[in-house]
């Protein structure tokens, strides 16, 4: 029952990501962070993180996180069949972490990601970077760097498709008001 | 034929794990893939994920076990579940009834999952049939019938070392007759598309219907392990031996014990596996068990990840939204 339409094409998204790199670079300089480590959240956040990581020439290997084991809705919707291993190839202790995701809506994914990061160690700080910040927050979570803030109603949902080329798609469905992780389930083909 | 597989939930997902029999290649592959995601958890500062927080898992062991019970317990704890360990010696007389009574009592404590080991074949299946619909049952070994999580951790170990199952030649050596592990391994290997599965044992330790399992039977070890990629040694199950199936342990070692010399007949990169506990000098020489081709201790570590996968998949499918 959803009508999907392209909201932003690859060229425009890549330009936004380059702008985000610049903003992030300044931000890191201001905060005097000279050796940050970056973690991208599967799957869309990892695509975005790969680009930012390359553009900022961060020497530390990029980490990836799959928050399936940390979701707060496991007892309601069960195991994500598409779960990927998390891979944090550096010591998290006392590290300044740049956490990257594609869309920030409810904030539940970020809460889960932070819980997982803390099971690897105690970071010095976590800075959240998202391509899209939209309405619908259910937790007090604030991004540090944002690519765009589209005015969306609660019954619309926005999804990053990729990895190459990237596109942002907007669709309307009655499931849209649910959390991002539910949407991930829907994309994984679980919902009828 | 038309009887539904009680192991599967309404949407075809894993609900109970009682036997490999009746599972598709894709479901077995899902279990292996999910287990792969869990391996990293053991290497972190906090070796725990909150997935099964608030769930109660009961290890119901009617038969002795150290390794299997411990790895199930570790797996459950790494998933943040609460664990009850019950070791119950079987009362041979009032089996059916006492089993049900035990079950009802434990259900009253709001157990979400039973991990069952029993000397009788079919015990886990019986419990699955009689348990509350929201309860999952995992078979941790029933009589001579099945030990599916052991088979899956063996498959995981093989896949880690060899990649695909297609093209592989796997030999299972030893007491196949008494081995629930061997039965589950053969089913899993064939379901996953292994090119050739061999069993190697004296005639007295092979079941009569062995060829119907889809294996090639050998009675000579040197002949049987020629050019194999994987050798799985089985423990000589002294406690299950009834009657004179073997002349002596010494003679068994002479004929079927895996030594460095005999291992030379397998492929140069062949791996040696054993479900444990090993009888050194009976079915395997210490030099081989502790040697570079042995992956026996890796099997134990992988067993935790595989059990985490099976537990979380089964309880995940019991989730309200998943069972629609």
pLDDT, tens digit (0-9, with 9 covering 90-100), for A76-99: 888 887 888 899 999 999 999 999
When pLDDT is averaged across residues B225-233 and rounded to a whole number, the result is 97
In DSSP terms, B86 is beta-bridged to: B60
Q: Report the pLDDT value the prediction gives residue B243, as an integer from 0 to 100.
A: 62
Query: 3-class DSSP state for residue B38?
Result: helix
B240 is catalytic: no
Least confident of A173-182, B48-57, B188-197, B285-294: A173-182
pLDDT at A188 over 70: no
pLDDT at A185 over 60: no
Domain with CATH 3.40.50.1370 in chain B: 25-147+303-314, 148-300
pLDDT at A177 over 70: no
Q: Report the pLDDT value the prediction gives residue B90, as an integer from 0 to 100.
A: 54
B36 vs A85: CB contact, 8 Å cut-off?
yes
- CA separation, residue B203 to residues B175, B200, B282 (Å): 10, 9, 18
Contact indicator for B78, B48 with CB cutoff of 8 Å:
yes
B235 is catalytic: no
Which residue out of B48, B77, B95, B161 is catalytically annotated? B95
pLDDT at B303 over 80: yes
Q: Is A159 exposed, middle or buried (0-12, 13-18, 19+ CB in 10 A)?
A: buried
Q: Report the pLDDT value the prediction gives residue A182, as an integer from 0 to 100.
A: 43
Residue predicted with more confidence, A186 or B119? B119
Query: 3-class DSSP state for residue B308?
Result: helix
pLDDT at B92 over 90: no
Locate the chain B residue with the closest alpha carbon to A85: B37
Query: Does A76 lie at the interface with B, CB-CB under 8 angstroms?
Result: yes
B324 is catalytic: no
- B308 vs B251: CA distance, rounded Å: 40
The closest of B6, B11, B10, B20 to B310, measured between CA atoms, is B20
pLDDT at B321 over 60: no
Contact indicator for A56, A115 with CB cutoff of 8 Å:
no
Q: Report the pLDDT value the prediction gives residue A116, as an integer from 0 to 100.
A: 95
Least confident of A156-160, B43-47, B150-154: B43-47
B183 is catalytic: no
The closest of A140, A130, A141 to A168, measured between CA atoms, is A130
In DSSP terms, B14 is beta-bridged to: B8
Q: Give residue B244's pLDDT band: very low, low, confident or very high (50, 70, 90).
A: low
Query: Does A5 lie at the interface with B, CB-CB under 8 angstroms?
Result: no
Mean pLDDT of chain B: 90
Fold held by B148-300: Rossmann fold (3.40.50)
- CA separation, residue A118 to residues A110, B37, B49 (Å): 12, 18, 11
- A103 vs A129: CA distance, rounded Å: 9
Give the start-to-end residue ranges of the domains of chain A. Answer: 10-149
Q: Give residue A174's pLDDT band: very low, low, confident or very high (50, 70, 90).
A: very low
Mean pLDDT of chain A: 88
Where b means 16+ CB within 10 Å and e means fewer, B149-158 reads bbbbbbbbbb
Percent of chain A with pLDDT over 90: 75
- Which of B46, B54, B318 lies at the smallest CB-CB distance from A119? B46
Query: Does B321 lie at the interface with A, CB-CB under 8 angstroms?
Result: yes
Query: Does B50 lie at the interface with A, CB-CB under 8 angstroms?
Result: yes
Contacts of B125 (CB under 8 A, 6+ apart): B6, B18, B19, B139, B142
ipTM: 0.76
Residue predicted with more confidence, B153 or A189? B153
Q: Report the pLDDT value the prediction gives residue A24, as an integer from 0 to 100.
A: 97
pLDDT in tens, B99-132: 788 888 888 889 999 999 998 999 999 999 999 9
Residue predicted with more confidence, A127 or B45? A127
What CATH class has B25-147+303-314?
alpha beta
What CATH class has A10-149?
alpha beta
């Amino acid at each position: 029952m959803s009508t999907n339409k392209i909201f932003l094409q690859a060229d425009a998204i890549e330009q936004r990501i380059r702008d985000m790199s610049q903003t992030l670079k300044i931000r890191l300089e201001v905060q005097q962070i000279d050796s940050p480590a970056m973690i991208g959240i599967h799957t869309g956040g990892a695509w975005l993180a790969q680009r930012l990581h390359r553009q900022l020439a961060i020497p530390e290997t990029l980490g990836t996180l799959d928050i399936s084991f940390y979701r707060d809705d496991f007892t309601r919707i069960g195991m994500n069949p598409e779960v990927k291993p998390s891979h944090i190839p550096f010591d998290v202790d006392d590290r300044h972490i740049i956490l990257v995701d594609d869309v920030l809506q409810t904030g539940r994914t970020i809460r889960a990601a932070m819980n997982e990061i803390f099971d690897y160690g105690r970071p010095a700080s976590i800075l959240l970077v998202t391509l899209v910040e939209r309405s619908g927050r259910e937790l007090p979570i604030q991004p540090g760097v944002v690519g765009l803030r589209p005015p969306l109603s609660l019954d619309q949902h926005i999804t990053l498709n990729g990895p190459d080329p990237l596109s942002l798609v907007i669709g309307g469905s009655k499931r849209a008001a649910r959390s991002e992780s539910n949407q991930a389930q829907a994309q994984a083909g679980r919902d009828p | 034929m038309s009887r539904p597989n009680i192991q599967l939930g309404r949407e075809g997902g894993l609900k109970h794990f009682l036997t490999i029999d009746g599972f598709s290649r894709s479901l077995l592959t899902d279990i292996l893939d999910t287990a792969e995601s869990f391996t990293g958890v053991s290497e972190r500062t906090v070796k725990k994920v909150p997935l099964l927080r608030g769930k109660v898992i009961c290890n119901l062991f009617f038969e002795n076990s150290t390794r299997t019970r411990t790895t199930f317990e570790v797996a459950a704890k790494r998933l943040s579940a609460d664990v009850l360990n019950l070791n119950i010696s079987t009362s041979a007389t009032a089996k059916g009834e006492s089993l049900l009574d035990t079950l009802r009592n434990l259900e009253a404590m709001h157990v979400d999952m039973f991990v069952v080991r029993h000397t009788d074949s079919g015990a886990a299946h019986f419990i699955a049939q009689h348990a509350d619909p929201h309860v999952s049952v995992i078979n941790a070994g029933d009589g001579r019938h099945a030990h599916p999580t052991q088979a899956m951790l063996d498959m995981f170990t093989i896949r880690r070392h060899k990649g695909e199952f297609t093209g592989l030649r796997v030999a299972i050596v030893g007491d196949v007759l008494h081995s629930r592990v061997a039965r589950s391994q053969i089913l899993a290997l064939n379901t996953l598309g292994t090119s050739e599965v061999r069993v190697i044992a004296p005639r007295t330790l092979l079941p009569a219907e062995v060829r119907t399992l889809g294996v090639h039977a050998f009675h000579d070890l040197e002949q049987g392990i020629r050019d194999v990629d994987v050798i799985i040694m089985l423990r000589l199950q002294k406690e299950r031996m009834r009657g004179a199936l073997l002349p002596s342990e010494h003679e068994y070692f002479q004929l079927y014990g895996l030594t460095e010399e005999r291992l030379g007949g397998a492929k140069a990169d062949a791996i040696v596996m054993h479900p444990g506990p090993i009888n050194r000098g009976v079915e395997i020489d210490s030099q081989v068990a502790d040697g570079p081709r042995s992956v026996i201790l890796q099997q134990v570590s992988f067993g935790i990840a595989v059990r985490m996968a099976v537990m979380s998949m089964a309880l995940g499918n019991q989730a309200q939204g998943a069972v629609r």
